[in-house]
Protein backbone atom coordinates (compact mmCIF):
# COMPACT_ATOMS: atom_id res chain seq x y z
CA UNK A 1 0.00 0.00 0.00
CA UNK A 2 3.00 2.30 -0.36
CA UNK A 3 2.29 5.58 -2.15
CA UNK A 4 5.80 5.34 -3.62
CA UNK A 5 5.00 1.97 -5.24
CA UNK A 6 2.85 3.69 -7.85
CA UNK A 7 0.73 1.66 -10.26
CA UNK A 8 -1.18 4.38 -12.12
CA UNK A 9 -0.72 7.85 -13.68
CA UNK A 10 -2.13 9.80 -10.72
CA UNK A 11 -0.05 7.84 -8.23
CA UNK A 12 3.10 8.35 -10.35
CA UNK A 13 2.48 12.11 -10.32
CA UNK A 14 1.98 12.14 -6.54
CA UNK A 15 5.14 10.05 -6.01
CA UNK A 16 7.12 12.44 -8.24
CA UNK A 17 5.89 15.39 -6.16
CA UNK A 18 6.90 13.56 -2.96
CA UNK A 19 10.43 12.96 -4.26
CA UNK A 20 10.74 16.57 -5.45
CA UNK A 21 9.68 17.87 -2.02
CA UNK A 22 12.11 15.49 -0.29
CA UNK A 23 15.02 16.62 -2.48
CA UNK A 24 14.16 20.29 -2.01
CA UNK A 25 13.89 19.95 1.76
CA UNK A 26 17.20 18.06 1.92
CA UNK A 27 18.93 20.81 -0.08
CA UNK A 28 17.59 23.54 2.21
CA UNK A 29 18.46 21.50 5.32
CA UNK A 30 22.00 20.94 4.02
CA UNK A 31 22.39 24.68 3.41
CA UNK A 32 21.21 25.52 6.93
CA UNK A 33 23.60 22.98 8.44
CA UNK A 34 26.40 24.41 6.31
CA UNK A 35 25.68 27.91 7.60
CA UNK A 36 25.64 26.62 11.18
CA UNK A 37 29.00 24.92 10.65
CA UNK A 38 30.41 28.04 9.03
CA UNK A 39 29.35 30.13 12.03
CA UNK A 40 31.42 27.90 14.31
CA UNK A 41 34.46 27.34 12.11
CA UNK A 42 34.81 30.49 10.01
CA UNK A 43 38.21 32.19 9.88
CA UNK A 44 38.86 35.83 10.81
CA UNK A 45 38.43 38.13 7.74
CA UNK A 46 41.57 39.58 6.16
CA UNK A 47 40.28 43.17 6.28
CA UNK A 48 37.72 45.00 8.51
CA UNK A 49 35.13 45.35 5.70
CA UNK A 50 35.41 41.73 4.56
CA UNK A 51 33.25 40.40 7.38
CA UNK A 52 30.29 42.61 6.40
CA UNK A 53 30.62 41.61 2.75
CA UNK A 54 30.79 37.94 3.60
CA UNK A 55 27.77 38.28 5.88
CA UNK A 56 25.72 39.92 3.12
CA UNK A 57 26.70 37.21 0.65
CA UNK A 58 25.73 34.38 2.98
CA UNK A 59 22.52 35.93 4.32
CA UNK A 60 21.19 37.36 1.06
CA UNK A 61 22.67 34.92 -1.44
CA UNK A 62 22.29 31.68 0.47
CA UNK A 63 20.09 32.40 3.48
CA UNK A 64 17.35 34.04 1.37
CA UNK A 65 18.03 33.54 -2.32
CA UNK A 66 18.68 29.80 -2.38
CA UNK A 67 15.63 28.74 -0.29
CA UNK A 68 13.37 31.08 -2.28
CA UNK A 69 14.56 29.57 -5.57
CA UNK A 70 14.06 26.02 -4.29
CA UNK A 71 10.61 26.82 -2.86
CA UNK A 72 9.57 28.58 -6.09
CA UNK A 73 10.58 25.52 -8.12
CA UNK A 74 8.66 23.24 -5.76
CA UNK A 75 5.60 25.50 -5.92
CA UNK A 76 5.64 25.52 -9.72
CA UNK A 77 6.12 21.76 -9.88
CA UNK A 78 3.29 21.24 -7.37
CA UNK A 79 0.93 23.40 -9.45
CA UNK A 80 1.78 21.40 -12.59
CA UNK A 81 1.19 18.10 -10.78
CA UNK A 82 -2.08 19.36 -9.29
CA UNK A 83 -3.30 20.43 -12.74
CA UNK A 84 -2.46 16.98 -14.14
CA UNK A 85 -4.57 15.32 -11.43
CA UNK A 86 -7.76 17.16 -12.42
CA UNK A 87 -10.38 14.88 -14.05
CA UNK A 88 -10.93 15.50 -17.77
CA UNK A 89 -13.56 14.12 -20.09
CA UNK A 90 -11.55 12.43 -22.84
CA UNK A 91 -14.33 10.12 -24.02
CA UNK A 92 -12.75 6.99 -22.54
CA UNK A 93 -13.64 7.48 -18.87
CA UNK A 94 -15.46 4.83 -16.85
CA UNK A 95 -17.97 6.15 -14.29
CA UNK A 96 -18.48 4.34 -10.97
CA UNK A 97 -19.98 5.23 -7.62
CA UNK A 98 -18.49 4.50 -4.18
CA UNK A 99 -20.59 4.82 -1.02
CA UNK A 100 -19.01 4.37 2.37
CA UNK A 101 -21.03 3.19 5.34
CA UNK A 102 -19.81 1.74 8.61
CA UNK A 103 -18.35 -0.82 7.85
CA UNK A 104 -18.73 -1.53 4.14
CA UNK A 105 -18.04 0.13 0.80
CA UNK A 106 -20.72 -0.28 -1.88
CA UNK A 107 -19.86 0.25 -5.54
CA UNK A 108 -22.14 0.88 -8.53
CA UNK A 109 -21.32 1.02 -12.23
CA UNK A 110 -22.70 3.30 -14.91
CA UNK A 111 -21.84 0.73 -17.61
CA UNK A 112 -23.73 -1.99 -15.72
CA UNK A 113 -26.96 -0.49 -14.33
CA UNK A 114 -28.30 -2.46 -11.39
CA UNK A 115 -25.01 -4.22 -10.76
CA UNK A 116 -23.55 -3.62 -7.30
CA UNK A 117 -20.54 -4.94 -5.41
CA UNK A 118 -19.41 -4.61 -1.81
CA UNK A 119 -15.82 -4.04 -0.72
CA UNK A 120 -14.48 -4.89 -4.21
CA UNK A 121 -14.39 -2.15 -6.85
CA UNK A 122 -14.02 -3.55 -10.37
CA UNK A 123 -12.33 -1.35 -12.97
CA UNK A 124 -10.69 -1.85 -16.38
CA UNK A 125 -6.89 -1.62 -16.45
CA UNK A 126 -5.38 1.09 -18.62
CA UNK A 127 -8.48 3.31 -18.64
CA UNK A 128 -9.28 6.33 -16.43
CA UNK A 129 -12.05 5.76 -13.92
CA UNK A 130 -13.98 8.57 -12.24
CA UNK A 131 -15.17 7.52 -8.78
CA UNK A 132 -18.04 9.54 -7.30
CA UNK A 133 -17.36 9.19 -3.57
CA UNK A 134 -20.13 9.68 -1.02
CA UNK A 135 -21.30 8.30 2.33
CA UNK A 136 -24.50 7.08 3.94
CA UNK A 137 -23.56 8.07 7.48
CA UNK A 138 -20.43 9.84 8.77
CA UNK A 139 -17.38 11.23 6.95
CA UNK A 140 -15.09 8.59 5.44
CA UNK A 141 -12.12 8.92 3.08
CA UNK A 142 -11.61 6.87 -0.08
CA UNK A 143 -7.93 6.08 -0.68
CA UNK A 144 -6.10 3.59 -2.90
CA UNK A 145 -2.44 4.53 -2.25
CA UNK A 146 -0.98 2.85 -5.35
CA UNK A 147 -3.54 4.38 -7.74
CA UNK A 148 -4.37 7.94 -6.62
CA UNK A 149 -4.71 10.37 -3.75
CA UNK A 150 -7.46 10.60 -1.16
CA UNK A 151 -11.00 11.91 -1.51
CA UNK A 152 -13.33 12.54 1.42
CA UNK A 153 -16.76 10.95 1.47
CA UNK A 154 -19.07 13.65 2.86
CA UNK A 155 -22.78 13.21 3.66
CA UNK A 156 -25.06 14.83 1.10
CA UNK A 157 -22.52 15.29 -1.69
CA UNK A 158 -20.40 13.31 -4.17
CA UNK A 159 -16.71 14.11 -4.56
CA UNK A 160 -15.03 13.02 -7.78
CA UNK A 161 -11.71 11.16 -7.80
CA UNK A 162 -9.97 9.86 -10.91
CA UNK A 163 -8.04 6.61 -10.59
CA UNK A 164 -6.33 4.41 -13.15
CA UNK A 165 -4.39 1.15 -12.94
CA UNK A 166 -1.50 0.54 -15.32
CA UNK A 167 -1.94 -3.25 -15.22
CA UNK A 168 -4.52 -5.84 -14.13
CA UNK A 169 -4.36 -6.90 -10.50
CA UNK A 170 -5.69 -6.24 -7.01
CA UNK A 171 -4.92 -2.95 -5.26
CA UNK A 172 -5.74 -2.42 -1.60
CA UNK A 173 -7.75 0.59 -0.49
CA UNK A 174 -8.89 1.94 2.84
CA UNK A 175 -10.83 4.68 4.55
CA UNK A 176 -8.28 7.25 5.71
CA UNK A 177 -10.69 9.07 8.06
CA UNK A 178 -11.29 7.89 11.61
CA UNK A 179 -14.97 6.98 11.85
CA UNK A 180 -15.47 4.71 14.84
CA UNK A 181 -14.32 1.65 16.74
CA UNK A 182 -13.99 -0.66 13.70
CA UNK A 183 -12.11 1.91 11.62
CA UNK A 184 -8.84 -0.08 11.58
CA UNK A 185 -10.38 -2.84 9.45
CA UNK A 186 -12.42 -0.59 7.18
CA UNK A 187 -10.86 -1.34 3.81
CA UNK A 188 -11.67 -2.53 0.30
CA UNK A 189 -10.02 -3.89 -2.85
CA UNK A 190 -9.79 -2.37 -6.32
CA UNK A 191 -9.68 -5.18 -8.89
CA UNK A 192 -8.36 -4.09 -12.27
CA UNK A 193 -9.33 -6.36 -15.18
CA UNK A 194 -7.92 -6.80 -18.64
CA UNK A 195 -10.25 -6.09 -21.56
CA UNK A 196 -11.79 -9.56 -21.55
CA UNK A 197 -12.24 -9.60 -17.78
CA UNK A 198 -13.89 -6.18 -17.78
CA UNK A 199 -16.28 -7.20 -20.57
CA UNK A 200 -17.17 -10.32 -18.58
CA UNK A 201 -17.80 -8.28 -15.44
CA UNK A 202 -20.03 -5.79 -17.27
CA UNK A 203 -21.96 -8.72 -18.72
CA UNK A 204 -22.48 -10.05 -15.21
CA UNK A 205 -20.14 -13.03 -15.46
CA UNK A 206 -17.39 -11.89 -13.07
CA UNK A 207 -17.70 -11.15 -9.34
Taking a C-beta distance cutoff of 8 angstroms, is the pair 159, 184 a contact? no
Q: From CA 86, how far away is CA 77, in angstroms rounded?
A: 15
Cβ neighbours, 10 Å, residue 10: 21
**β-strand 159-163 against 129-135: which pairing, if any?**
antiparallel
Cis peptide bond upstream of 7, omega within 30: no
Q: Is 44 exposed, middle or buried (0-12, 13-18, 19+ CB in 10 A)?
A: exposed
Q: From CA 36, how far away is CA 86, in angstroms rounded?
A: 42
pLDDT in tens, 118-149: 999 999 999 999 999 999 999 999 999 999 98
- Residue numbers in the chain where pLDDT is lower than 70: 42-61, 205-207
Q: From CA 56, how far away is CA 45, in angstroms rounded?
A: 14
Taking a C-beta distance cutoff of 8 angstroms, is the pair 188, 174 a contact? yes
In the beta sheet, which residues pair with residue 108?
97, 116
* pLDDT score, position 153: 92
Amino acid sequence: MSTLDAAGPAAWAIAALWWAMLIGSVLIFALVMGLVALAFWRRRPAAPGDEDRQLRVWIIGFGLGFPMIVLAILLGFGLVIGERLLPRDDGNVVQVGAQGQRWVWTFTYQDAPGQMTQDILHIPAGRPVDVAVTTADVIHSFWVPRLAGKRDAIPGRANLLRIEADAPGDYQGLSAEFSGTNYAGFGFTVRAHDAAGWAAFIAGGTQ
